[in-house]
Amino acid sequence: MPAIDYHLVHEVPGRLRLHIPALGEPGCEPGYLEAWMEAAAAVSAVRSNRAARSLIIHYQGNASTRGTLLQRLQAFPGEPIPGFGAEGLREAEWAPMLTTAMTLAVLPFLSPPARLLLTLVNVGSTLAKGLDTLINHGIKVEVLDAIAVGLAAADGKVFTANVTDLLLSLGEYLEVRTERQSDRLLRRLLRPQPAMAWVERAGELIQVDGAEVQVGETVVIGTGETVAVDGRVIGGMGLVNQAAVTGEDVPVRKEAPARVIAGSVVLEGRLRITATQVGAETSTARIARFIQESLNRGAATQRAADRLADQRVYLTLGTGALVYALTRDLTRLQAVFLVDYSCALKLGTPVAFKSGMHRAAQQGVLMKGGEAIERLAEVDTVVFDKTGTLTHSDLEVTDVLVLDGSGDCTETELLALVASVEEHASHPVAQAVVDAARERDLQHISHGEVDYMVAHGLSAEVQGGRIIVGSRHFLEEHMQIGFGRHEALIEALHAAGKTLLFVGNSRGPVGLIALRDTLREDAAATLARLRTLGIEQLVMITGDRREKALALGTELGLDAVHAEMPPEQKAGIIEALQRAGRKVAFVGDGVNDGPALTVANVGIAMPRGADIARATADIVLLDDHLRAVADAREIAGRTMALIKSNFRTAIGVNTGVLAAAVFGWLSPVGSALLHNGTTVGILLRALAGVQPTGPQPSPTPRRQLPAPGA
């Protein structure tokens, strides 16, 4: 498609209003154009107006950002972005409602023939839709709508015909508008924002957008930089934090030929990697396809409502035919045909689902479609991955222990000494030690130059001697400092679920610093609340040592703990629970959680989770608070209760109206008002949605989802 022709109509900082002559013409779908522009990271909102042929763009940034957005506009391909079809981008048309309102306003001033003519023109689209449905799909709700409106108009009841048409248009408008808002929210929350990458090209190191890296190219990542692509190490050594990708709370050492994952951060060292997966293979296309497929899968409740609504068409038609055959009363027939179960049944259910999705998003939860809500409401067992889910990835110091025979050093002096050396490192263990020293207001101890062994430990000259800090393997195998005499103490600390930092000097072992990943502040309260919401079993899966896992399980009052579990066995545990008759939700965040998230009845991904975890999950938490899991469960349950209540109301009221119409107790106008009033009331109730009763999120600004590959 050629570049879009446009000109600027109005501009203020952060907002552009553009006139686009081609907007609305064949080959330029407004919904596609909106989605294309919304995919840009700087864009916060886009709104098109087909009639005015204008496009309004809200964005964050400076003049450079503005120029980039205008260049993107000119590059619009005129096709749907991957994964978003035309059905998901329908426009909410307000013009039919405005036309009908104007028709109702002028009817009192026209002659009867003019009223009828204007009414037929106004409701013509409804009649045409009914005829088209009858020819191509048989007797459906649209046919009943057309008969109801057509009979009223043919009998001269033009006000009834127009009011009915107005309410039908209002219902469709509310449905489509809510659907578009939900789809827009999903696209904006999960759009990828690739990291920058340093790539070796033609003998030079140049920086490019991560999305531009080609398979097979060599990428260089230094300290503090984010890995932009999946790849394998071909040179260098580094300590890599994969918490945002795999959920591991301790950084891992990487050297050739280890695999690195996009989204990881190099804490120490420098890596050269060969890119193996780039671009759409790991981000945009996969996420977009998954979201659209999720939205296109209607929930079982919604499908049941659609079937029942279609069946009620035959009930209404059959009842009307019988009444007319017995009474020959055309007025009574009109009253019967104006009773339509379909609006409340067909529109109320999806609107309630979409409203629940929006309410959940306000609570920090992204639910991908009505099916996710429906299944979460049925869950009776919740399985949690530990690291990054029940616990934070951050570590805290729990014990500072001076070992026997190490001299006159005190615990305070040991912590100050180790923190003074570790402050030159950037990995989480070092940061935890430094934070602990700062909390105790300990003074810095002067020392000589620090020597590093990447991913092992460090050493420095302090007070006339050398202190060595690091892993047990480093001190015993590389520095020949044995800790065998303290094996019982070490085992006890490991059994308590703690990570150990070993300290020694030229004379031997000096001390131990124990750390533990911190339990989320809201973990216990969330689990207790889940039980009140009908969850019968709470289970944890972890790769930690059994003693460590059982200690945490006892603290949280879990029903079952599966420890020392390799990633590939997580899905097997969930399948075993399902074979036992359980409806299972799994909460996780890592790449290795993908199979478990897929197998579970409902997969829930934490906000810092891997790209693939967020794409695979049915539900994604937007805020890093575990309480959102309970919020999601409550919203799901209350949404399903609302749908069932609306369903009973629609059936009960419309059946009563139908009976009154059959016995001649209602005029066609009264029948239409009661039926359509009930429909609008149910739609408004569905739009109002539900509000969870649990603790509400703090008013602090919500942080953005971590971008895939960033």
Q: Does residue 403 register a pLDDT over 80? A: yes
Backbone angles phi, psi at 444, to 5 degrees: -70, 140
pLDDT tens-digit series, residues 151-168: 778 878 788 788 878 877
Phi first, then psi, for residue 351 (nearest 5°) are -65, -40
pLDDT score of 177 = 67
Mean pLDDT, range 349-364, rounded to an integer? 76
Read off the pLDDT of residues 489-546 as tens digits, 9 standing for 90 and up. Answer: 998 888 777 888 999 988 889 999 998 877 888 899 999 999 999 999 999 988 777 8
What's the CATH number where 561 sits? 3.40.50.1000
**HSE toward the beta carbon, residue 564, CA cutoff 13 A:** 6
Record the tokens describing residue 281, joined without a space: 């293979």
Statement to judge: residues 546 and 563 lie in one domain: yes
Q: Out of 37-51, 284-298, 404-418, 419-433, which region has the weakest mean confidence (pLDDT)?
A: 284-298
Torsion of Cα atoms, 402 then 408 then 414 then 417, to 10°: -150
- Cα(16)–Cα(71) distance, integer angstroms: 13
The band of 6, judged by pLDDT with boundaries at 50, 70 and 90, is confident
Considering the domain architecture, whether residues 535 and 494 belong to the same structural domain is answered as no
How far apart CA 603 and CA 294 sit, in angstroms, is 13
CB 245 within 8 A of CB 590: yes
Residue 270 corresponds to which tokens in the numbers above?
Answer: 């420098």
pLDDT at 356: 79
Question: How, if at all, do strands 584-588 and 381-385 pair?
Answer: parallel
Domain match, 409 and 419 both: yes
Q: Which region among 170-179, 395-404, 405-414 has the lowest average model confidence (pLDDT)? A: 170-179
Mean pLDDT of 244-251: 53
Question: Among candidates 363, 352, 362, which has minimal Cα distance to 694?
Answer: 363
The pLDDT tens digits of the residues spanning 276-290 come to 877 555 433 344 444
Q: In whole angstroms, what is the distance from residue 452 CA to residue 424 CA?
A: 10
Average pLDDT (74-101) is: 61
Task: Find the distance separating the first CA and the last CA of the chain, reported in whole Å.
Answer: 32
Same domain, 13 and 40: yes
471 within a domain of the structure (yes/no)? yes
- Domain finish residue from 592, 626, 660: 626
Residues 547 and 610 in one domain: yes
Give alpha helix (H) positions in 580-626. Answer: 594-599, 611-616
Position 698 confidence tier, pLDDT thresholds 50, 70, 90: very low
What is the average per-residue pLDDT within 663-668?
A: 78
| pLDDT value of position 178 | 55
Question: What pLDDT does residue 507 have?
Answer: 86
Domain boundary among 568, 601, 626: 626
pLDDT at 190 over 50: no
**One domain for residues 34 and 63:** yes
482 domain-assigned:
yes
pLDDT at 576: 92
Query: Looking at residues 62-83, what average pLDDT do you find?
Result: 70
Query: In the prediction, which pLDDT does 380 show?
Result: 95
Instruction: Show the tokens assigned to 616.
Output: 């695979």
Cα gap 482→488, rounded to integer Å:
14
Quick check: is 176 in a domain?
A: no
Which residue type, as a one-letter code, is found at position 693?
T
Q: How far apart are CA 485 and CA 501, in angstroms?
A: 16
Cα-trace Rg, the chain:
32
* Mean per-residue pLDDT, 558-575: 84
Mean of the pLDDT values across residues 71-96? 59
Question: Quick one: 379 and 278 in the same domain?
Answer: no
Percent of the chain with pLDDT over 70: 76
Token pair 């659609």 is found at 306
- Residue ending a domain, choose from 24, 52, 79: 79
Are 494 and 589 in the same domain?
no
Instruction: Clarify whether residues 526 and 590 are in a common domain.
Output: yes
515 with 526, same domain?
Answer: no
Give mean pLDDT, residues 598-612.
75
- With contact defined as beta carbons under 8 Å apart, do 537 and 582 qualify? yes
pLDDT digits (tens, 9 = 90+) for 568-590: 688 889 999 999 999 999 998 76
Whether residue 88 lies inside any domain: the answer is no
Q: Bridge partners of 226?
A: 265
Residue 291 lies in a domain: no
Position 115: which residue type?
Answer: R
- Closest Cα to residue 539, out of 529, 547, 549, 548? 549
Q: How many domains does the chain have?
A: 4
Provide the domain limits for residue 475: 394-519
How far apart, in whole angstroms, are the C-alpha atoms of residue 118 and residue 124?
A: 10
User: Each residue of 296-306: pLDDT tens digit?
Assistant: 555 555 566 66
In a domain? residue 203: yes
Instruction: Report the CATH number that the domain containing residue 66 is assigned in CATH.
Output: 3.30.70.100
Amino acid (1-letter code) at residue 375: R
Q: What is the spatial distance between Cα 79 and Cα 33, in angstroms, rounded to a whole number? A: 8
Q: Which tokens sit at 599?
A: 């197998």
Which pLDDT belongs to residue 578? 93
474 & 526 share domain: no
Average pLDDT of span 661-665: 83
- Comparing 267 with 181, the larger pLDDT belongs to 267
Residues 513 and 526 in one domain: no
Q: Which residues are catalytic?
A: 385
User: Does residue 406 register a pLDDT over 50?
Assistant: yes
Q: Is the pLDDT of residue 422 over 60?
A: yes
Rounded-to-integer distance, Cα 386 and Cα 553, Å: 10
Selection from 205-219, 360-374, 421-435, 480-494 with the highest mean pLDDT: 480-494
CATH number for the domain harbouring residue 431: 3.40.1110.10
Beta strand ranges found along 376-475 (DSSP E): 381-385, 391-402, 451-453, 457-462, 465-470
Residue 539 resides in a domain: yes
Confidence of residue 591 (pLDDT cuts 50, 70, 90): low
Residue 684 near residue 354, CB atoms below 8 Å? no
Question: What is the structure's pLDDT at 657?
Answer: 81
236: region left, alpha or beta (phi > 0 left; psi from -120 to 50 alpha): left
Residue with tokens 């006339």: 464
Is it the case that residue 249 has pLDDT exceeding 60? no
Average pLDDT, the chain: 77
Averaged over 55-64, what is the pLDDT? 83
**Spatial CB neighbours of 23, under 8 Å, sequence gap ≥ 6:** 30, 33, 48, 50, 53, 54, 55
What's the pLDDT score for residue 87? 42
Mean local confidence (pLDDT), 111-135? 88
462 lies in a domain?
Answer: yes
